Structure 1
Amino acid sequence: MTHPGPIVELSGVRLARGGRTVLDGIDLSVPRGQVVAVLGPSGSGKSTLLAALTGELEPAAGSVRLFGQPMPTRARELLELRKRIGVMLQGNGLLTDLTAAENVALPLRAHTRLPVELIERLVRLKLHAVGLRAAADAFPRELSGGMARRVALARALALDPPLMIYDEPLTGLDPIASGVVMELVRRLNDTLGLTSIVVTHHVHETLPVADHAIVIANGSIVFSGTPAELQATADPLVRQFLDGEPDGPIPFDAVARNAEAA
């Protein structure tokens, strides 16, 4: 099922919500094995792009290809494709009345017919991979924010997806937990042979582990290159975002936040 080309390929993509164009002219190629950071200010359309990558949002124009195939439109084919994509959502999404191990087991119980003993062994492996084997019987309320985020990561990895997508993985985490999570993203990407897309506005924590970075602003990709090239850029629009300046080419106050909470 492997193929030599890019894992993800967007070509001339226009994305709209409620009749309003959010992103236009999006070209993106994600090679196998890379960690790609998708950066941009709040409201820039990062979440809209993520919806297109998972097949939730059909492009108004252009094409989205995953694993060398066009994004399916039929529900059953889309469901099969999504089993090959691990998505770690904002805020963990852990079920509070289930233990860490039970949360990680959910995708395995829902999408496989593996025997209980094998599921339990796989769950232990996944928790071990994120350094939380000892927390298997803990409930989410008993975990720190960083630990809960790592349980969510273990759950996203449960079905061994070749592609991982992280949606704002550092929201609400302190700097130490942020560093642990991003280091884990890199290590798991390399040891498990994954390809990872990290959608975030946390530039300085994400760039050290990324191979490639793109910046989205004002409805399009305004930068694409290596982290070193990004940090060296003199582009005023990109610099405004990197340096957190309130005044510049990105009109922060003009963002239609109710229409697109990216």
Structure 2
Amino acid sequence: MTEAAPSIVHLRDVRLERGGRTVLRDISLDVPKGQVIAVLGPSGSGKSTLLAALTGELEAAAGTVEVFGRPIPRRNRDLLELRKGIGVLLQGNGLLTDLTAAENVGLPLRAHTRLPRPVIDRLVRMKLHAVGLRAAADAFPRELSGGMARRVALARALALDPPLMIYDEPLTGLDPIASGVVMALVRRLNDTLGLTSIVVTHHVHETLPVADHAIVIANGGIVFSGSPDALSASPDPLVQQFLKGEPDGPIGFDAAPRTEAA
């Protein structure tokens, strides 16, 4: 990665545990300002655990985790302030079904600011326009397609103008066209709004074209870090197994034992 750009996220020799079990070990990562970073890996590899560390939900068992140039705070008030600068797009969208698209997008503004209603309404229209859904402001989530609902959730994640965006499996449940629209938005919004984006996903081929840098997590650690082109050309059998979706190889998968039919 470019050393001249300041790091928005800095991890060094991090170990992450859940329930006393080590999920990730020896994780070192720098995310420069303005880049789109793809965090790839098979299901269960620890990608969501890494996200939990970045948002302060999970404290590292060892090592250093810094966001915006400072360690993740432990005090609730300081942690809340940090999280205001991090927009998170959840894979399940998290839209409230009894609120319209506009009302969903306005939630963070109503909860975390004292802006007057007319200003909030204008900001909501701007955010919906940024994701191409201004005309859907009065629609309820049940009236939206999967791709549209994902874009409303994206507009809500952007409501407080966070400098850092984290996308947690943003393509789950989307068809190829909607996936292309969402990933194009990720790139365009990152560039036009001056964001830094971390995209956590197992959708390799849809994500790499918009990424500046890619890392692959497997077997409890980072097994690749480099450009998308270098990833595609990597001779590492572990990387190739993941890219090709091969069931057999150095990446292990837990499976329940099969029982013979009576």
TMscore range, shorter length: over 0.9
Counterparts in 2 of 1:1-262, with a 5 A limit? 5-253=6-254
Between the aligned partners of 2:253 and 2:203, the Cα distance in structure 1 is 17
Which amino acid is 1:224 matched to?
A: S
Q: 1:102-158, CA deviations, whole angstroms, 9 ceiling, x for partnerless residues?
A: 000000000000000000000000000000000000000000000000000000000
**Structure 1 residue 254: Cα displacement:** 5.3
Between the aligned partners of 2:86 and 2:228, the Cα distance in structure 1 is 25
SS of 1:58's partner is coil
SS of 2:191's partner is helix
Between the aligned partners of 1:222 and 1:181, the Cα distance in structure 2 is 27
Between the aligned partners of 1:254 and 1:74, the Cα distance in structure 2 is 40
Which residue is 2:260 aligned to?
none
**Structure 1 residue 251: Cα displacement:** 1.1
Between the aligned partners of 1:134 and 1:231, the Cα distance in structure 2 is 39
Between the aligned partners of 2:72 and 2:141, the Cα distance in structure 1 is 34
Q: 1:137-186, CA deviations, whole angstroms, 9 ceiling, x for partnerless residues?
A: 00000000000000000000000000000000000000000000000000
Runs of 5+ in structure 1 lacking a partner? 256-262
CA RMSD of aligned residues (A): 0.9
Between the aligned partners of 2:142 and 2:237, the Cα distance in structure 1 is 43
Which amino acid is 1:153 matched to?
A: L
Which amino acid is 1:189 matched to?
A: N
Which amino acid is 1:214 matched to?
A: I
Which amino acid is 1:249 matched to?
A: P
Higher relative contact order (CA 8 A, sep 6+): 1
SS of 1:253's partner is coil
**Structure 1 residue 5: Cα displacement:** 2.3
Between the aligned partners of 1:249 and 1:136, the Cα distance in structure 2 is 48
SS of 2:132's partner is coil
Between the aligned partners of 2:43 and 2:117, the Cα distance in structure 1 is 42
SS of 2:7's partner is coil
Q: 1:80-103, CA deviations, whole angstroms, 9 ceiling, x for partnerless residues?
A: 000000000111000000000000
SS of 2:78's partner is helix
Between the aligned partners of 2:118 and 2:190, the Cα distance in structure 1 is 27
Between the aligned partners of 1:53 and 1:254, the Cα distance in structure 2 is 29
SS of 2:122's partner is helix
Between the aligned partners of 2:68 and 2:7, the Cα distance in structure 1 is 7
SS of 1:49's partner is helix
Between the aligned partners of 1:225 and 1:209, the Cα distance in structure 2 is 14
Runs of 5+ in structure 2 lacking a partner? 257-262
Between the aligned partners of 2:251 and 2:215, the Cα distance in structure 1 is 16
**Structure 1 residue 73: Cα displacement:** 0.8
Normalising by structure 2, report the TM-score: 0.95
Between the aligned partners of 1:235 and 1:254, the Cα distance in structure 2 is 24
Between the aligned partners of 2:72 and 2:53, the Cα distance in structure 1 is 9
Between the aligned partners of 1:243 and 1:72, the Cα distance in structure 2 is 40
Which amino acid is 1:114 matched to?
A: L
Percent pairwise identity: 83
Between the aligned partners of 2:99 and 2:237, the Cα distance in structure 1 is 48
Between the aligned partners of 2:22 and 2:190, the Cα distance in structure 1 is 33
Between the aligned partners of 2:191 and 2:55, the Cα distance in structure 1 is 22
Which amino acid is 2:85 matched to?
A: R
Rg larger for? 2
Which amino acid is 1:248 matched to?
A: G
Between the aligned partners of 1:253 and 1:183, the Cα distance in structure 2 is 34
